[in-house]
Amino acid sequence: MRIAIGIEYDGTAYNGWQRQKTGVGVQQRVEEALAHVANEPVEVVCAGRTDTGVHASGQVGHFDTQSVRSLRGWLLGANSKLPDDISIRWVRHVADDFHARYSALARRYRYRILNRLVRSALHRHRAWWVHQPLDADAMHSAAQALLGEHDFSAFRSAGCQAATPRRELTSIRVERDGDWLTIDVCANAFLQHMVRNITGTLVAIGAGEEPVAWAREVLESCDRKRAGVAAPPQGLMLVRVDYPPGTFDDAATRASASPAEGG
């Protein structure tokens, strides 16, 4: 029997999603909680491996089990064993051929920047504080050059193990609301540090250090050394994973991973 789960977590205290040889990954805590309910070992496969310090409001995973429990039992039982910074939001039975990673059509990430003179004591783990003024319109305009299918090697980490650097970016939006800048990005898949490297490049443009056309030049160079610095991880959140219609049996499941809740 295959079961899908929706997960949210504050990644501050974790070494990313993946179970680690040293340190603790979110995966370890989720598997331990589910194993307690199942009374057997459980292995969870996720839609996207987030890095150290990165958060999620719409992570999706799946696991196989022979244990028969109600969906409510899985949900409440696992959450009772999870720390306060991890929560399973929903549980659903899925077809045996469902795969949290390979069945996904797209992933949506959000990056938040606090753009004001003074730092925040409350948002230090949820946003990148940039004190110099940023031109959000210039950043948005520059970002549009990244739309479409491209070789994103210029925005790929040196340690990225993806088989190909080609990804299709279907939307990217930069918006300002007072002191806050939000970058929403959707693609079929992402390379390691791709969103953070794109963000660092756009911030350099927003700060007036580089022209709007620089984003396209960096992309076409396929050279990571040409791009901006990697934005810090705490501003990044996985807000949604899209699947084919009918994958889950009710609208509430899909709505629970809405990007609107990712801020």
The residue among 153, 161, 240 whose CA lies nearest residue 197 is 153
Question: What does the pLDDT average to over 197-218?
Answer: 97
Q: List, by residue number, the catalytic residues.
A: 51
**What integer pLDDT is reported at residue 250 of this predicted model?**
53
Q: What are phi and psi for residue 67, nearest 5 degrees?
A: -80, 135
Task: Judge if 2-103 and 106-238 fold alike in CATH terms.
Answer: yes
Model confidence band, residue 248 (pLDDT cutoffs 50, 70, 90):
confident
In this structure, which CATH number among 3.40.50.2300, 1.10.30.50, 3.30.70.660, 3.30.465.10 belongs to the domain 106-238?
A: 3.30.70.660
**CA distances from residue 88 to 48, 73, 128, 257 in whole angstroms, order as listed:** 16, 12, 26, 12
- SS3 of 142, please? helix
Residue 151: CB atoms within 10 A of its CB come to: 14
Residue with tokens 């650097």: 165
**What integer pLDDT is reported at residue 246 of this predicted model?**
87
**What integer pLDDT is reported at residue 133 of this predicted model?**
98
- Pairing, β 148-151 against β 166-177: antiparallel
Question: What does the pLDDT average to over 156-183?
Answer: 95
Question: What does the pLDDT average to over 44-64?
Answer: 96
* Low-confidence winner among 62-66, 152-156, 250-254 (lowest mean pLDDT): 250-254
- Confidence check: pLDDT of 88 > 70: yes
Question: What does the pLDDT average to over 12-23?
Answer: 89
* Low-confidence winner among 1-15, 184-198, 238-252 (lowest mean pLDDT): 238-252
**What integer pLDDT is reported at residue 260 of this predicted model?**
37
- Confidence check: pLDDT of 251 > 80: no
pTM above 0.95, yes or no: no
Looking at residue 241, its amino acid is: V
Q: What are phi and psi for residue 161, nearest 5 degrees?
A: -105, 10
DSSP secondary-structure letter at 248? S
Average pLDDT along the chain: 93
**What integer pLDDT is reported at residue 36 of this predicted model?**
96
- Confidence check: pLDDT of 18 > 70: yes
Does the domain at 2-103 match CATH 3.30.2230.10? Answer given as no
Residue with tokens 């950043």: 139
Contact by Cβ (8 Å): 66, 1: yes
Residue with tokens 């939006």: 173
Model confidence band, residue 256 (pLDDT cutoffs 50, 70, 90):
very low
Q: Where are the domains of the chain?
A: 2-103, 106-238
Model confidence band, residue 249 (pLDDT cutoffs 50, 70, 90):
low
- Confidence check: pLDDT of 174 > 50: yes
* Low-confidence winner among 7-16, 69-78, 155-164, 226-235 (lowest mean pLDDT): 155-164
